[in-house]
C-alpha cells in the first residue's frame, strides 16, 4: 500500500519547563501538575479525504476537539489513497499554511496498521454509502467488511484504552461490528454519533421558542441514528421551564420528531450533498465532551453507547443504543438514569430498539457466514 506522509511541527515555546530543577517537595508537585507539557494526542480519522474529513481537520488542529493547550498528531486513513493523493497533499499544505501551533504532525496513509498505530482516539467517518437499488443486506455486507477490517487494525495497533467514535452509517451497527473485532478494548470505549441529532433537536427547539440556544437543556436522542430515532424533550427545559409548557404538545409529538428524523435527507435535498459541516461539528462536540468534559457540570448530551442491561430503561443487552449521558472528562460517561418515561416515549424507544435488534441479527449472520 502506498503512504503519503506530511509533517507540521508548529512552533516550539522558548520557555522549556524541563529545564526546571525538580526537588522532592511541593515544587515538584507543582511542576507535574502545571508545567509538565502534555503528551500529544494521536487521533486517527478514516475517510479523511471526504467532505466531513475536510471540515473536521481544522477543528482538531485548532484545539476545538481536545482543548486549547493539547497538542495533536493526526493520522488520516483513506483506503484508496492513490486516487486522492493530490487532494491529501493539498489538505496537508493547507494545514501547514493555516498556523496551528497545536498540530505537531499529519500522517496520511492507506495502511490501517499505520493509521491506528498507538492512537488514543479514533473517528471512523468512512463507510460504504447506500446506492440506488441496493438491498439492505448488500449494504450491511459492504460495511461489515469495512468495519471488520477497522476493528482488527484497532485491536492490533491502537492503545488499549483508545476511544472510538463511529460516524459512517449505519453507525450504531457498524460500531457494534467494529467492537466485536477489537475484543481487548473495553466495550464502553466504542460509541456511535448521535450528537448531530442532539444538536439538531436543540436548534429546532430554540428556533421554535425564539430563545438562545443555550437556554435549551435536557433534550435527548434515544436509539438508532436513523429515521426511527426518538428525539425526546420530555425532561427538557427552556430557560428552566419545561419545554412542554412553552411549546405546543402537538408540535413536539409530531412535526418536531419528524423534522429531526428527516433532517439529514432535507439537507441533502437542499445542498445536493450530505451534511458535512454540522457533522464535523458534532464529531468535535462528542469527542471534546467525552475526553475533556462538558463545559457545564451535569450537562446532558446524547451518545450511542454499548448496552449492558444496567441503564434502567429495559433496553436489550449488546446493542449500540443512544441515551442521554453525562460526560465528566477523561473518557468517562454515565447514562442518565431515573428519567420519567411516558407511554408515548416507551413506544418510540422500543421501535428504534427493534430496528437495532434486526440490524444486529443481520450483521451477526453475515459475520458468521
Instruction: Return left, alpha or beta for 254; rule: phi > 0 is left, psi -120 to 50 is alpha, else beta.
Output: alpha
- Give the DSSP letter of residue 231: E
Verify whether residue 306 is a known catalytic residue: no
Q: Is 365 in contact with 177 (CB distance < 8 Å)?
A: no
Q: Is 174 in contact with 143 (CB distance < 8 Å)?
A: yes
Q: Is 132 in contact with 92 (CB distance < 8 Å)?
A: no
What is the structure's pLDDT at 80?
Answer: 83
Cα 272 from chain centroid? Answer: 24
Place of cell 516550539: 12
Distance CA(140)–CA(119), nearest Å, equals: 27
Number of H helices, E strands in the chain: 13, 15
Instruction: Compute the C-alpha angle 205/209/215, nearest 5°.
Output: 70
- Give the DSSP letter of residue 189: G
* Catalytic one of 75, 198, 225, 306: 225
What is the structure's pLDDT at 4?
Answer: 44
Helical axes 277-291 vs 51-61, angle rounded to 10°: 40
What is the structure's pLDDT at 23?
Answer: 42
Distance CA(265)–CA(274), nearest Å, equals: 8
* CATH T-level topology, domain 195-360: L-2-Hydroxyisocaproate Dehydrogenase; Chain A, domain 2 (3.90.110)
Place of cell 501551533: 101
Q: In the chain, which ranges are continuous DSSP H helix?
A: 26-30, 51-61, 85-97, 112-115, 136-157, 171-180, 195-209, 243-246, 249-253, 255-261, 263-271, 277-291, 343-368
For residue 108, give every residue at least 6 positions away whose Cβ sits within 8 Å of its Cβ, in sequence order, or none. 3, 4, 5, 6, 48, 76, 77, 78, 81, 88, 91, 92
Per-residue pLDDT of the chain (369 residues; tens, 9 = 90+): 444 444 434 433 333 434 334 444 444 444 444 445 689 999 999 999 999 999 999 999 999 999 999 999 999 999 887 889 899 999 999 999 999 999 999 999 999 999 999 999 999 998 888 777 777 778 888 999 999 999 999 999 999 999 999 999 999 999 999 999 999 999 999 999 999 999 999 999 999 999 999 999 999 999 999 999 999 999 999 999 999 999 999 999 999 999 999 999 999 999 988 899 999 999 999 999 999 999 888 899 999 999 999 999 999 999 999 999 999 999 999 999 999 999 999 999 999 999 999 999 999 999 887
Handedness of CA 307, 308, 314, 316 (dihedral sign): positive
Cα 314 from chain centroid? Answer: 24
The b-or-e profile of 133-145 (16+ CB within 10 A means b, else e) is eeeeeebbbbbbe
Cα 69 to Cα 32, 101, 282, 297, 325: the distances in Å are 15, 10, 21, 21, 26
Domain residue limits, the chain: 3-9+38-192, 195-360
Instruction: Compute the C-alpha angle 274/278/284, nearest 5°.
Output: 125
What is the structure's pLDDT at 36?
Answer: 52
Burial of 236 (0-12, 13-18, 19+ CB in 10 A): buried
CATH of domain 3-9+38-192: 3.40.50.720
Amino acid at each position: 500500500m502506498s503512504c503519503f506522509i506530511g509533517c507540521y511541527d508548529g512552533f516550539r515555546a522558548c520557555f522549556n519547563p524541563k529545564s526546571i530543577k525538580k526537588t522532592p517537595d511541593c515544587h515538584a508537585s507543582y511542576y507535574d501538575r502545571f508545567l509538565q507539557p502534555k503528551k500529544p494526542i494521536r487521533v486517527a480519522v478514516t475517510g479523511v479525504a471526504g467532505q466531513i474529513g475536510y471540515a473536521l481537520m481544522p477543528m482538531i488542529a485548532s484545539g476545538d476537539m481536545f482543548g486549547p493547550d493539547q497538542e495533536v498528531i493526526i493520522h488520516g486513513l483513506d483506503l484508496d489513497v492513490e486516487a486522492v493523493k493530490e487532494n491529501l497533499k493539498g489538505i496537508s499544505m493547507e494545514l501547514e499554511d493555516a498556523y496551528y501551533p497545536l498540530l505537531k504532525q499529519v500522517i496520511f496513509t492507506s495502511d490501517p496498521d499505520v493509521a491506528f498505530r498507538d492512537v488514543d482516539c479514533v473517528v471512523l467517518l468512512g463507510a460504504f454509502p447506500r446506492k440506488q437499488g441496493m438491498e439492505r443486506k448488500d449494504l450491511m455486507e459492504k460495511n461489515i467488511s469495512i468495519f471488520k477490517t477497522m476493528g482488527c487494525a484497532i485491536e492490533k495497533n491502537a492503545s488499549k484504552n483508545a476511544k472510538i467514535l463511529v460516524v459512517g452509517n449505519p453507525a450504531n451497527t457498524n460500531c457494534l461490528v467494529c467492537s466485536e473485532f477489537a475484543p481487548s478494548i473495553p466495550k464502553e470505549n466504542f460509541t456511535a454519533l448521535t450528537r448531530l441529532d442532539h444538536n439538531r433537536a436543540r436548534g429546532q427547539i430554540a428556533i421554535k421558542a425564539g430563545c438562545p440556544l443555550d437556554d435549551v437543556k435536557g433534550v435527548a436522542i434515544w436509539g438508532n441514528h436513523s429515521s426511527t430515532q426518538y428525539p425526546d424533550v420530555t425532561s427538557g427545559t427552556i430557560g428552566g421551564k419545561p419545554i412542554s409548557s412553552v411549546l405546543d404538545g402537538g408540535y413536539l409529538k409530531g412535526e418536531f420528531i419528524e423534522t429531526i428524523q428527516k433532517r439529514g435527507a432535507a439537507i441533502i435535498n437542499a445542498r445536493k450533498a450530505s451534511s458535512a459541516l454540522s457533522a464535523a461539528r458534532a464529531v468535535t462536540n462528542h469527542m471534546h465532551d467525552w475526553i475533556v468534559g462538558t463545559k457545564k457540570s451535569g450537562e446532558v448530551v446524547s451518545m450511542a453507547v454499548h448496552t449492558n442491561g444496567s441503564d434502567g430503561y429495559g433496553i436489550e443487552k449488546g446493542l449500540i443504543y443512544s441515551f442521554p449521558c453525562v460526560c465528566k472528562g477523561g473518557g468517562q460517561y454515565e447514562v442518565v438514569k431515573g428519567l420519567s418515561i411516558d407511554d408515548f416515549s416507551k413506544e418510540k424507544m422500543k421501535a428504534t430498539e427493534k430496528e437495532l435488534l434486526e440490524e444486529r441479527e443481520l450483521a451477526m449472520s453475515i459475520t458468521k457466514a
